[in-house]
């Protein structure tokens, strides 16, 4: 076995890595294609809905793929990694490569591994094809020189308890997804112990005390690296952000019986109340951060979502009603607390993934009658559901991460909605 850290030249000098150009999940919507209308076309018109769950077709695919930045050819990546792994002999170092890619105590399958490689390649400004060919291996081997595993241990029980407390007190639990990415978890959500180990490893690289706890000093360093503004006092019923005062009258005008805490939490989570926000890669726009593909399905003027606040609210409510119809279609009673949690869950994790999970629950004799039951099932069957999604959709989804996402939306919404329960006009 060769030593990963020996400075020896690669044996292969002129090989093509067989990399493809990445494909966007959606092509840019053309404003001249006749799909976009002004307000003269009412936003309350019905949306064509599949007759059966087996007929989702293109609609499900569009809604389900909104968060995909770019696709890679997984079958090709797996084949080429088998070839290059033997040719370049990096297979002998998988025990070091996997933790480097974020798999601290988790052994990924070949497809998940390729996805993690692609995510790392994007961060390095390389073609993201998920293949560790000569160029990628050379860059990765160099980057790993400072990533030797440490024998230092931490008190995991104390770290987990402290992180639960500090997450609430310091407010970093609202940025959990960004922290996971900073720690290298690109394609799966770690449990609390693995998370603490990853925090400790990161602290060592920053010269901080490696205890696995995101306390004030660690969070201050992370916040700066994530580009987050300085901590502020959380808004209360008497000190609400300006955008809340602007958007509540618009929501009350058009929401009907949709809970205002759901809508405020949705907006706070997606855009932070900035309707002019446009994401760089996905081109999501408006208060609800609607994807171009969803705008096309709903016949919205996508650019107008980030230029007209009233249009942005109405477009977002139209999207929520679409997911509401999906919730009814899969058997939930309209208007209950569980129903609105399912609406948010469908948007967060994806229609197809939610349906697969609910079907799996019923097949195992568990009826999804409460939101707490669904969360407990997600936590108890986390790894199996992860594998199930990977086989079904060729990519992984963590149900625990997305149930937390839904809870955060409602928690934020309830704080912001305090004292504003006026029904829709």
pLDDT at 193: 84
Burial class (CB in 10 A: 0-12, 13-18, 19+), 177: middle
pLDDT at 106: 57
Lowest mean pLDDT among 112-121, 208-217, 275-284: 275-284
Regarding the domain delimited by 242-417, which CATH topology (the fold level of the hierarchy) does it fall under?
Lysozyme (1.10.530)
Q: Say how far residue 8 (Cα) sits from the centre of its chain.
A: 39
pLDDT at 7: 38
* 249-306: pLDDT as tens digits: 999 999 999 999 999 999 998 888 998 888 877 789 999 999 999 999 999 999 999 9
pLDDT at 165: 87
Give 1-39 as a DSSP string.
---TTS----S--S----PPPPB-SSPPPPGGGS----T
Q: Does the pLDDT at position 411 exceed 50?
A: yes
Give the other-Cβ count within 10 Å of 122's Cβ: 16
pLDDT > 70 in the chain, percent: 76
* 299-353: pLDDT as tens digits: 999 999 999 999 999 999 999 999 999 999 999 999 999 999 999 999 999 999 9
**Helix locations, 101-215, DSSP H:** 110-123, 134-143, 156-170, 176-183, 192-205
Rounded distance between C-alpha atoms, residue 68 and residue 114, angstroms:
15
Q: Does the pLDDT at position 42 exceed 60?
A: no
**Where does residue 55 fall: left (phi above 0), alpha (psi -120 to 50 degrees), or beta otherwise?**
alpha
CATH architecture of 74-146: Orthogonal Bundle (1.10)
pLDDT at 370: 95
pLDDT at 172: 87
pLDDT at 10: 38
pLDDT at 189: 64
Rounded distance between C-alpha atoms, residue 18 and residue 41, angstroms:
48
Lowest mean pLDDT among 240-244, 312-316, 372-376: 240-244
At residue 208 the predicted structure's pLDDT band, cuts being 50, 70 and 90, is confident
Mean of pLDDT values over 226-245: 68
Q: What is the dihedral of CA 156, 158, 162, 163, to 10 degrees?
A: 10
Q: Does the pLDDT at position 224 exceed 90?
A: no
pLDDT at 39: 34
Q: Does the pLDDT at position 33 exceed 70?
A: no
71 strand-pairing partners: 23
pLDDT at 146: 53
At residue 35 the predicted structure's pLDDT band, cuts being 50, 70 and 90, is very low
Rounded distance between C-alpha atoms, residue 372 and residue 338, angstroms:
9
Tell me the HSE value of 393 on the side-chain side, using a 13 A CA sphere.
24
What mean pLDDT is reported for the chain? 78
Residue intervals of the chain classified under CATH 1.10.530.10 are: 242-417
Q: Does the pLDDT at position 67 exceed 50?
A: no
Q: Does the pLDDT at position 245 exceed 70?
A: yes
pLDDT at 372: 95
Mean of pLDDT values over 170-198: 79
pLDDT at 344: 95
Q: Does the pLDDT at position 150 exceed 70?
A: no
At residue 420 the predicted structure's pLDDT band, cuts being 50, 70 and 90, is low
Lowest mean pLDDT among 33-47, 226-240, 348-362: 33-47
Q: Does the pLDDT at position 28 exceed 50?
A: no
């Amino acid at each position: 076995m060769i030593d990963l850290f020996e400075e020896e030249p690669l044996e292969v000098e002129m090989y093509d890595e067989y990399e493809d150009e990445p494909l966007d999940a959606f092509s840019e919507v053309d404003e001249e294609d006749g799909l976009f209308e002004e307000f003269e076309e009412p936003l309350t018109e019905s949306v064509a809905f599949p007759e059966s769950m087996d007929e989702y077709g293109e609609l499900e695919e569009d809604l389900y793929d909104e968060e995909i930045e770019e696709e890679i050819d997984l079958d090709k990546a797996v084949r080429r990694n088998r070839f290059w792994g033997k040719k370049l002999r990096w297979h002998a170092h998988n025990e070091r490569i996997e933790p480097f890619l974020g798999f601290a105590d988790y052994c990924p399958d070949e497809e998940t591994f390729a996805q993690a490689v692609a995510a790392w390649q994007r961060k390095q400004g390389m073609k993201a094809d998920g293949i560790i060919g000569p160029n990628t291996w050379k860059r990765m081997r160099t980057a790993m020189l400072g990533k030797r595993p440490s024998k230092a241990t931490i008190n995991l029980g104390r770290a987990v308890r402290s992180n639960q407390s500090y997450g609430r007190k310091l407010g970093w639990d609202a940025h959990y997804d960004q922290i996971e990415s900073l720690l290298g978890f690109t394609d799966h959500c770690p449990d609390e112990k693995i998370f603490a180990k990853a925090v400790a490893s990161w602290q060592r690289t920053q010269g901080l005390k490696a205890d696995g706890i995101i306390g004030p000093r660690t969070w201050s360093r992370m916040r700066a690296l994530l580009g987050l503004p300085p901590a502020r006092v959380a808004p209360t019923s008497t000190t609400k952000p300006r955008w809340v005062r602007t958007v509540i009258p618009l929501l009350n005008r058009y929401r009907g019986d949709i809970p205002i805490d759901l809508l405020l939490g949705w907006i706070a989570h997606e855009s932070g109340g900035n309707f002019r926000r446009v994401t760089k890669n996905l081109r999501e726009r408006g208060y609800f951060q609607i994807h171009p593909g969803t705008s096309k399905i709903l016949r919205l003027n996508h650019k107008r979502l980030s230029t007209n606040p009233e249009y942005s609210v109405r477009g977002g409510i139209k999207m929520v009603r679409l997911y509401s119809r999906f919730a009814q279609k899969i058997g939930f009673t309209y208007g209950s607390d569980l129903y609105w949690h399912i609406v948010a869950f469908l948007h967060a994790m994806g229609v197809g993934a939610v349906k697969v999970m609910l079907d799996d629950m019923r097949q195992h004799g568990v009826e999804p009658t409460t939101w707490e039951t669904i969360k407990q099932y997600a936590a108890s069957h986390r790894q199996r559901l992860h594998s199930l999604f990977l086989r079904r959709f060729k990519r992984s989804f963590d149900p625990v991460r997305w149930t937390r996402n839904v809870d955060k939306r409602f928690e934020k919404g309830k704080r912001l909605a305090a004292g504003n329960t006026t029904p829709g006009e």
